[in-house]
Every structure is written in structure tokens, then in C-alpha cells.
Structure 1
Amino acid sequence: DGLFELPADAPVGQCLREYLGLDDAIIEVDLTPNRGDCLSIAGLAREVGANYAAQVACPAIDAVAATHDETRPVELLAPAACSRYVGRVIRNVDLSRATPLWMVERLRRSDIRSIDPVVDITNYVMLELGQPLHAFDLAEIRGGIRVRLAEEGEKLTLLDGQEITLRSDTLVIADHERPLAMAGIMGGEHSGISDGTTDLFLESAFFDHIAIAGKARNYGLHTDASHRYERGVDWQLQRQAMERLTALILEIVGGEPGPVIEALDEQHLPKPVTVQLRKERVSQMLGLDIPDADIEVYLQGLELGVVASGAGEWQVSVPSHRFDISLEIDLIEELARLYGYNRLPVSAPKASLSLTAKPETRGELPVLRRLLVARGYQEAITYSFVEPGLNKLFDPQSEPLALANPISSDMAVMRTSLWPGLSKAVLHNQNRQQPRVRLFESGLRFVPQVNGELLQEPMLAGIAAGTRLPEGWANGSDELDFHDVKGDVEAVLGQGGALDSFRFEAAEHPALHPGQSARILRDGELVGWMGALHPQLVDKLDLDGPVFAFELRLEAIVEGRLPQFSELSRFPEVRRDIAVLVNRSVMAGELLEDIREQAGAVLKNLRLFDVYQGKGIDPESKSLAIGLTLQHSSRTLTDDEVNAVMDKVVGSLEQGFKATLRK
């Protein structure tokens, strides 16, 4: 707003639009993060030249001769983060001079405001070549330059006036006494250019993008320099940018340049990349045959060095500014882009389908999922990576596979059980006022074997806590117990029609309550565990107990049994109930299994309908009430036949379990 001031030498009477060069077009370029080489006029010119098969003529940048021999020592104390640092001393600059209008206008159209001549020139060269640059007030540098990692808690006031506390992973440019700038992000206020500055120290450096990535965001910053360094900067550009910067400074604000200072650590510099390209692979990936000559023209247009190494094969040298090219597929992508995606052949997808036999006895995981959902569970998906200590709490006997490069210390090993992830999910819900939790998960567990192999076993696991039924006026507030979850497990095991092949046995598991745990066997083979989580484990995990869990080997439980037709009997059923006294240690399941074996084919239904311990019986005993339903398929059973079956059953119980029939 207000008057627009023009330079004193502006020609009176000339059209302002013509004088300022306003008849111009501004092109906004939206780049993907891998193409940091296009964040400059030179980079865009290379790209346009390649797309239009035009020769790109970049203006020559000549070396500026030194007029004095003053330098500053440069030490690379963090060579992995900064392997090349180029500097230069310029004496006796005149900052009273203004930035030329043509430069101010070009910066404005690039959305960069003019600050002072030196800063404007560094920004201008950055836009030209893509190399971020910085200028220090030489008078504020104590001794030499040290490129190092910050000390934890060091303070630095930035050019925008903000004081920050540096972390130890932040790369800084420092002198022998204090930090001067956050490397690749922003300079410090005390070492910046001011109206009284007469001598400069110029910086042009290569910072590894890993060392800069995310650091600006950690401090709530984002600068043009950090934007470029995070995406990668040409590691061979620093000296060229320094010469261009020097020439413009001398032209605009004058000065006396010293020699170029270069500190280099070749061990940590990026190495030149050569990639093999095969025409056969190009044709396979793109679905068409591009002539050899065209392939070479496209690659040479991108300034790639191309040397034929055989029929339909090339060794391609990648220029330093194309740090996104390292594999053959990267070159094929470039060929597709230059050839034209619109020219690639289009064909409908084709797939040959072959019918494969599916055993009718084999169940499917989706069926089990729907079953558990119908019983009130919700499916969860947890990480396969878990915290080592948590995994050891649930499975102390296994040595889990450690990750070479974990995301974090909480995800450092592969799980040997699905319970750790599910228990964390229960805690997450309980901490958010969701006390009634029913979760299940199907996934792999990873168990290293003695021979060095890794067993990746599909598992189905569940976990439950809270009340038996959802809150409601018609529902009680009874807590979930062992038998509720056992019923859920039996429903899963019985899905294939082979529930009678499974057996629950009382056994101890390190993660389960010693008195409320059972192993699950199928024909003598261990297929899973269930029970209440151990009280000590519940306390360590800060869970609201009791919490019940089960885990089953999926491959061992999905194999079912073919349904077989059984003719409905037209003859009456006979129901007989017995109550037997047995020792408290006797498992009801073993008792029922023996009854089935003794009763034979006439037994149609068997049910344990009561368990009693208390007044009237020995404290070390328990009473089991069992109902037997007998029926013959082709005739009516006589009383003598029924009595014979019952006598056989009772006799076997007395002999095998020392059972006593209650009268």
C-alpha cells in the first residue's frame, strides 16, 4: 500500500509493466518428495529438456580469483552428517547498496521476500541451482568452524528471534565457543548479517538428508533450506554454488574474496551409482518394445551416462543430482515417463482360474470369526512385534526372534503368543471406562526352532474380562468365570462336528492361574491352552481382573468330521440319572468319556447337570449328577437292557475312579 519507490535510474516515461517485466508467467510445480533435484531453475530446465528432447545450455560459472589469503579452519566432527563443507571469507562488503530490482522481483515471484542484499543473493542462488547457502558475520566467529552435534541443553537464538534448547541429535554449525546455526535449517541471530557487517563468511555444505529429516519439525520450523536438505541435495554442487554466490556478491555489494575453503570426508560422501538396465526387463515391465536407440536417447536426455554392455544391456551412470535412482526399476520408471504413460498399451486384466479340490472336512477361519462375533467377541488386530519383557511374562520358556532394526524398544521381538497384544488391548479399553471386554484375534506366532528355522504358526486366541452379560435391567452383574470362556472354546472346537475328539485337562501354564487353567488336547496332541490369567500377571499389567484367555493352534482345530446321516428312531427314549461321589481331583470330562465308552451305541445324550460340594459329603469329595438318555434305533429297550447298561457304567466308574453311587 502507498507509493511504490523505483530506483533513481528508472527511465522516466517507460511503461511500468515493461520496466518491471510483469508480462511473465508463474508456474507452480507440485513435486513428490523423491524429486528434490527439481527444487531449482536448473533442475526444472533439465526436466523440461528431457521431456521435449531439447538441449539444455546452462550458463558457465567461472571461478572467482582470490584477492587475499585469509581463511578459517573447518573441522567436520560429525562426518556422517556433513561430509563436505565449503566456505569463503569476503572482506569489505558494502551493505548500504540495495538489492537490484530484477532480483527482488524474481524472488517475489518465487514467494521469497527481500531482506538484505547478501541474504537475497543466497536465496537467489538457491533458487537457481538448488543448493542452500548461508552467510555469517565474520566478526562474530570465534576461531574456526566446527560442524558437530549439539550438546544436550545448548541454547541458540535463531534469526527469527526464537530461543531454542538444542537436543543432542541436532547438527549445528559452531565456532570454538558456541553454536552459530542449526545446520541446514536456520542461522543464529548473533552471527547473522546486520547493517554494520563488513566482512562475511560464506557457507555451502552437503548435509546428509537423514541428519536433517524431521529436525525442523521437531522444533516447529520449516525453511526453504530444510525443505531441500530433507529431500536431498546434489553432493557435488557445493563449490559451483560458492563460485556463483561469490560472483553475485562482488557484483552487487562489492568486496574482496579469499580462497575457497573445502573440508571433505570422502569416506562418508555418497558414492557414484551405476545401474544395469536390460531391455528384456523394460519390455516385461512396460508391455512394449522400445527400440535400443530410443532408450539411449531418453536416458541421455536425463544426463545419465549410458554405455552398452551387450545386446540389449546398458551400464547407466547416475548423475549426483539424481539421488532417487539406484535400481533398474527406477530407470524403467524414467523410460515410461519420457515415452509417455498415455502411449503404453492397455489390455484388460487376464487371470486363469483353476478349480482346486477343497476337503469337506476342513473348516474355514471366517466361519470361526463369525461364531465368536455371535458370542459377543470383537475381532482385534495387534502388532506382531512386542516388547521383550511383556512376551517373557506370557511365554518365559521361549526365546523370541529379535528384530535387527526395531521400530522402537516396545516392538523389538516377534511374538511367540497372541496373548501379549490382546492383553494390551484389554488394558487400553479398561483405561477408557470399558470394563466388559471380549476380543479375539487370528494371526501368526513366531517360534525359533532348534535347527535355526522359524516356525510361523497360525493361531486363534481370545481374551475376556468383566461381567458375564452386558449391563441391562434384565441381566445380572455376575462376573465372568472359567466355565463361560470354556463354553466359548467348546463352541469353536465343535464347529467342525468333532468336539468329542477334544479333551480339557487341568495343567499349569506360566501365564495362567494354577487352579483355573487347562490344556486342550486332540487325540493326545496339544492344540491349545485356556484359563484365567495369573493374578501376579494381572497386577503387573495393571489389569482389572479376573481376565480369561484362550489360544488355539488353528491348523489343529479346523479339521472337522463329515456329517453322517443317522435315521431318527421311532422308539421311546429312556432317561436315567445317577449321582456319584468321587475325589475332588477327578476331572468330570474323563468321567463322561468313560461313560460314553461303556454305554455304547444306545447312548444318545449325556449331560453333567450338577456338581455339589459341601454339607453332607466328605470335604475331599464332590458329587457329580449325570443324566443319560438311552435309545435303540430299531426297537424299544427293555428294563433289563437299560439296567444292564447302567450296571456296566456304574461298575466301570467304581473300578476306574473309585466312585460311590449316591442313593
Structure 2
Amino acid sequence: MGPVVDCYPAPAPRRQVRLRHSRIARVLGETIDQGLVERVLAGLGFQASKNQDGWEVVVPTFRIDIAREIDLIEEVARHYGYDKLPVTFPALQRPPEAPVASLDRDRRARETLLRAGFTEAVTFSFIERRVAELFAADADLVPVANPLSEKFSTLRPSLLPGLLESVRHNRHHQVPDVRLFEVGRRFTKSEGERPSVAFVWTGAARTDHWSTDPVSVSFFDAKAVADVLSAAFKVTNPTVERVQIPYMIPGRTAQVIGRPTLETDSTSVGTHVGYVGELAPAVIHALDLPESDSVFVGEFDLSALASFASDVESRRVERLPRFPSIVRDISIIVDEYLPAANVRGTIRSAAPATLDGVREFDRYQGKGIPEGRISLSLRLTFQSPERTLTDAEVQQAMETILVALKKEHGAVQR
């Protein structure tokens, strides 16, 4: 083999690369002796000239792989020994990204319904116009300009059509109990694009167990889901009020209102966050669902829910009570359509500050109760953080509460 012959019209330029000693330490996580760096470079055919912060390195022409400072650092590390370098995590060069409010909002809704026993579904935003007309006025629907077929000709005005199609599929495959939810967007001309969360529930209210009898889902189970969602988003004083929705059963449908104060009067300012109730038989028939099924649904505006939520959790710690509480039960006869929240609001308004809690524990309608009326039983708990209450004080409070209930709601004590 003869000598190497190179035929080129001009001498190849010698590339120069700047190498900083501080950069070596930053990349490798260890300070390398400058003399060692110079010996490594010289041994590899590099010409290193010292400068203020490192070296100006002339790269030999046969090392076409050396073009940047990091390439020289790699050569130094390779000859110094990778096994000698300390194991460290790289330093973050930028602060973490700020949380996206909409992602946190959607995550909160998902986690809440998953904990409530629901399964998430993801359905199409395009639906058949015939189905869309069941859930919104024809003039409010948003058509698709170039649909693939009539089945995908309209943007969904509600999340319910897709969920109910999933219910239909499950019911036709002998699945009796279905609990689904979806987080997505609905579209109408009047409101535009709105982020929403919706759920459907049919079949059993709880998992079958040998110790209990099977119980079918009811309006109150669906309302409990609304309560859980409202609590997750810190909705202030959520109340339910009767509402007429064309595709829901009248009298078994309610809207959820959040108000900025404890005022429960329907005339006070409030924010509509959603609705819950039972699907109308006509819609069940139109969607080819089993007509014997009771299907409960709910849909909530995520923007309205999120308007109540706060990034800062406010929590108050109180010492355990030192004095005993006194519990009193009352049963009153009121109009069957009177929201229990209104009754609770009247009680709290009339009661003294020692009223610690009030909740319903029974609702009865039937023999002995006039038509159009119900018997509502509530449990009131009185407690003072400063002293033991007397029976006379509690009795006086109960009498004041009963007078207020009679005045505001025409209530009659049983």
C-alpha cells in the first residue's frame, strides 16, 4: 500500500471550536483538571490555545465529527472515564408550567363521578339531526357543512344523545345496570360552544348484595350525584327548583341553582349550573330504549360550576365540642312540590345561632296525608360551644321555627 494522496483545489480549512472550562463542569457535573483536559485534547490531535475562560481548539481535518463544544466535552468525558462522573439529576432550566384551569376543571369533574361509581364514555360530537331535535329547538341546532352522512349531520346540542346511545347498546346486550358519564362540549346557536359534564343512570341503585333487597335507581339517587358535583366545585348553597324541560318528565326534573348567600328565595340572584331528572317516555321510545326502563340523567355547565371553585382551599380548624348537643325531630305537612332546601333555609333563618345542623330523614306521601301534600321529617341538632343548653331554650327555638314554617310555607305539624 502506497502513501495517501489527496487531490483538492485548496487546503481544507481548520475548524475552530471554543471550549469553556465552566461548561465542562456544568455538563459533566464535576470539575475536571485543566491540565488533564489539555493532555486529552493533545493526545487526540487537537491544538488547544488557552484563553480567558477556556481554550480555542483547532480540530484536525480528519475529525469531521467534531463541530460543537459539546462534541469536545464528550471526548474529554470519554477519556476521563464515565464511571468516574457523579450520578446527578440535571438542573431545571425553566419553571414548571402554570396549571391550565380548564384541565383542572375537567379532571375534578371526572374524578368526582368516577368516585361515585360511574364509568367514563367518549362519544361523537356529530349526531343525527332527528336525535338532536329531541334535545333542542330546530332553529338552535348547528348543522355540519359537509357531513359524511345524515347520521353525522348535526353538532350535538347536549352530551346526552351519545350517552343514551351507549345505554341503548348496553341494554340490547343484556346489561341491565348502566352508569355512564362524559366530559365534553355541546353546541347551540344561542349559547355557542359550552363545556359540560353529563351522566346517565338506569337499573340498580347499588350493587346487588345478599344482605339487602335490590333497589332501582330513583330521582333522589340522581339528585345525590348533583349534590356531589356541587360539593366538588364548592357551589355556594346549591338548591333544586322545579323546571320544565321538553325531554324530561314534569315533576321529576329539577334545576340546580347556586346562590352567593344562604338565601333560598327563588327570587334571589342565582347561577344555573345544571339539571337532573328522569327522561320522558317519548324520548325513550324514540331512542329505541326498553320502554320499561326508568332512565335518570343530568347535565351541568362546567364553566358555571368552575365559577364557584377557588384555587385556594379555605379550611377552618375548630376544637372538639366540650358540651353535649340536643337533638329534636319534627314532622310537618307541606306542599309536595316545595323544595326541601327552602324548608332548611327557613329553619336556619328562624333558628338561633345554636342550631348546629338540620337534615331530612323521612318523606312520606299516602294514607293520612292530604292529596298534593307530603309529610317531611327533619332532625335538628342544637349545640353551644360555650355552655350546656337547657331544654327550655331548645323548646323555645323549636316553637319559633314552627311559627316561621307555618308563615312561610303553610306547614302543619303532625
Quote the RMSD (CA, aligned, Å). 2.8
Which ranges in structure 2 are unaligned for 5 or more consecutive residues?
1-64, 71-89, 260-269
2:202 alignment counterpart = 465
Compared with structure 1, are the counterparts of its residues 661 and 398 closer, same or farther at alpha carbon in structure 2 (3 Å cutoff)?
farther
Rounded to whole Å, the distance in 2 between the matches of 1:466 and 1:661 is 36
* Paired amino acid for 1:586: L
CA contact (8 A) 1:469 1:476 kept: no
Q: Find the residue that maps to 1:572 and give its secondary structure.
A: coil
CA contact (8 A) 1:505 1:520 kept: yes
CA contact (8 A) 1:398 1:416 kept: no
Q: Find the residue that maps to 2:348 and give its secondary structure.
A: helix
2:53 alignment counterpart = none
Picking from 514, 517, 535, the partner of 2:253 is: 517
Alignment of 1:489 onto 2:230: no
2:278 alignment counterpart = 532
Picking from 207, 211, 214, the partner of 1:477 is: 214
Rounded to whole Å, the distance in 2 between the matches of 1:620 and 1:655 is 19
Residue 446 (structure 1) shift: 1.5
Rounded to whole Å, the distance in 2 between the matches of 1:369 and 1:491 is 12
Compared with structure 1, are the counterparts of its residues 398 and 643 closer, same or farther at alpha carbon in structure 2 (3 Å cutoff)?
farther
1:589 alignment counterpart = 341
CA contact (8 A) 2:135 2:158 kept: yes
Q: Could you list the per-position Cα deviations for residues 463-496 of structure 1 after superposition, in whole angstroms to 9, with x for gaps in the alignment? A: 0111222344344332211111111221111124
Q: Find the residue that maps to 1:589 and give its secondary structure.
A: helix
Compared with structure 1, are the counterparts of its residues 416 and 600 closer, same or farther at alpha carbon in structure 2 (3 Å cutoff)?
farther
TM-score using structure 2 length:
0.69
Rounded to whole Å, the distance in 1 between the matches of 2:345 and 2:140 is 37
Picking from 167, 174, 179, the partner of 1:433 is: 174
* Paired amino acid for 2:197: L
Residue 601 (structure 1) shift: 3.1
CA contact (8 A) 1:395 1:511 kept: no
Q: Could you list the per-position Cα deviations for residues 384-416 of structure 1 after superposition, in whole angstroms to 9, with x for gaps in the alignment? A: 111111011022365221111112211111111
Larger mean Cα displacement after TM superposition, 553-562 or 369-378:
553-562
Rounded to whole Å, the distance in 2 between the matches of 1:364 and 1:615 is 47
Picking from 328, 331, 352, the partner of 1:579 is: 331
* Paired amino acid for 1:539: H
Rounded to whole Å, the distance in 1 between the matches of 2:258 and 2:109 is 18
2:14 alignment counterpart = none
Compared with structure 1, are the counterparts of its residues 490 and 383 closer, same or farther at alpha carbon in structure 2 (3 Å cutoff)?
same
Compared with structure 1, are the counterparts of its residues 525 and 396 closer, same or farther at alpha carbon in structure 2 (3 Å cutoff)?
same
CA contact (8 A) 2:168 2:289 kept: yes
1:416 alignment counterpart = 157
Q: Could you list the per-position Cα deviations for residues 210-236 of structure 1 after superposition, in whole angstroms to 9, with x for gaps in the alignment? A: xxxxxxxxxxxxxxxxxxxxxxxxxxx
1:638 alignment counterpart = 390
Rounded to whole Å, the distance in 2 between the matches of 1:441 and 1:366 is 12
1:608 alignment counterpart = 360
Which ranges in structure 1 are unaligned for 5 or more consecutive residues?
1-341
1:560 alignment counterpart = 309
CA contact (8 A) 2:195 2:301 kept: yes
1:20 alignment counterpart = none
2:24 alignment counterpart = none
CA contact (8 A) 1:460 1:554 kept: yes
Q: Find the residue that maps to 2:143 and give its secondary structure.
A: coil
Q: Find the residue that maps to 2:397 and give its secondary structure.
A: helix
CA contact (8 A) 1:398 1:447 kept: no
CA contact (8 A) 2:276 2:296 kept: yes
Identity among equivalent positions (%) equals 32
Rounded to whole Å, the distance in 2 between the matches of 1:618 and 1:475 is 32
* Paired amino acid for 1:506: R
Rounded to whole Å, the distance in 2 between the matches of 1:373 and 1:607 is 26
User: Following superposition of structure 1 onto structure 2, how do residues 232-381 of structure 1 map, counting pairs within 5 Å?
Assistant: 352-353=94-95, 356=98, 364-381=105-122
CA contact (8 A) 1:469 1:475 kept: no
Q: Could you list the per-position Cα deviations for residues 59-94 of structure 1 after superposition, in whole angstroms to 9, with x for gaps in the alignment? A: xxxxxxxxxxxxxxxxxxxxxxxxxxxxxxxxxxxx
Compared with structure 1, are the counterparts of its residues 518 and 436 closer, same or farther at alpha carbon in structure 2 (3 Å cutoff)?
same
Rounded to whole Å, the distance in 1 between the matches of 2:138 and 2:334 is 35
User: Following superposition of structure 1 onto structure 2, how do residues 433-452 of structure 1 map, counting pairs within 5 Å?
Assistant: 433-449=174-190
Compared with structure 1, are the counterparts of its residues 572 and 431 closer, same or farther at alpha carbon in structure 2 (3 Å cutoff)?
same
Rounded to whole Å, the distance in 2 between the matches of 1:527 and 1:373 is 20
User: Following superposition of structure 1 onto structure 2, how do residues 179-194 of structure 1 map, counting pairs within 5 Å?
Assistant: none
Residue 612 (structure 1) shift: 1.7
Residue 617 (structure 1) shift: 2.9
